[in-house]
Amino acid sequence: MFGIENYLGFIVAAILLNLTPGTDTMYIVTRSVAQGQTAGLYSVLGIISGVLVHTLLAALGLSIILANSPIAFMLVKYLGAGYLCYLGFKMLMASPKPLIANALHDNEVQATNKSLDYKQIYKQGVLTNTFNPKVALFFLAFFPQFIDSSYAHSTLSFLLLGLSFALTGFIWCLCLALLASRFSQRLRDNPSIETVLNKISGIVFIGLGVKLLTEKG
């Protein structure tokens, strides 16, 4: 089917791989715990959008550049690590939110800011996944195992496998976001604890950045 071999085996492997904790999982759980369900959902959409970016790059053969160019790989790696550290420092330095909004105008402003924040969370999820070169290399190493080398339209095969991987990832990440946000709801209802959660989240992001930076390619 479209040059794909053992599709069922691919789905099983994709599910198992998505269940394995990694940078994406930590990003989603951290956002969900610190900032709630909606933030978690936007982080899921961002991460999955990043997966689709990698799918497109792999299908077009651009990810091969990362595999064959140590300079390109290190550049993307440093960008990804730097970006994660930037997110962490940003959360650590964030000012505590006001406890009460007394006026309708204040509520409207807060609603607008939340909307903007969610868009930012989505964008950060996209960049977090896209700037992880190991994801690109994983796609190049994993997907070809399920593609018939004699099939003339391997680009289509890559796209279908990528979409399947993204779908299984979306379902799992969605469950993570919902469970993590519900588990931490009572904690977030306390403003002082919410501030602590944001600080912890910042430390986690910085740790992820350092981990990505120090990992060998």
User: In angstroms, how far is the first alpha carbon of the chain from the final one?
Assistant: 34
Question: Which of 8-12, 15-19, 169-173 bottoms out in mean pLDDT, i.e. has the lowest?
Answer: 15-19
Q: What is the mean pLDDT of residues 134-141?
A: 75
Which pair of tokens denotes residue 99? Answer: 């406890």
Distances (CA, A) of 151 to 60, 85, 141, 156, 167: 15, 42, 18, 10, 24
Task: Give the count of alpha carbons within 13 A of 181, CB side only.
Answer: 20
Contact (CB, 8 A) for 25 and 176: yes
What's the pLDDT band for 122 if we cut at 50, 70, 90?
A: very high
- List, for residues 144-179, the tens digit of each pLDDT value: 778 776 777 777 888 888 899 999 999 999 998 998
Q: Decide: 124 and 34 in contact? Cβ < 8 Å.
A: no
Q: Which two tokens stand for residue 192?
A: 């002082």
In 88-107, which positions are buried (b, 16+ CB within 10 angstroms) versus exposed (e)? beebeeeeeeeeeeeeeeee
Answering whether pTM is above 0.75, one says: no
Summarize pLDDT for 78-110 with one digit per residue, the tens.
776 787 787 778 777 766 554 333 333 444 434
Please list the alpha-helical segments (H only) found in the chain.
7-19, 23-35, 37-60, 63-68, 70-93, 104-130, 133-142, 154-183, 185-188, 191-214
Going by C-alpha positions, the residue among 47, 54, 58 that lies closest to residue 18 is 47
| Three-state SS at 29 | helix
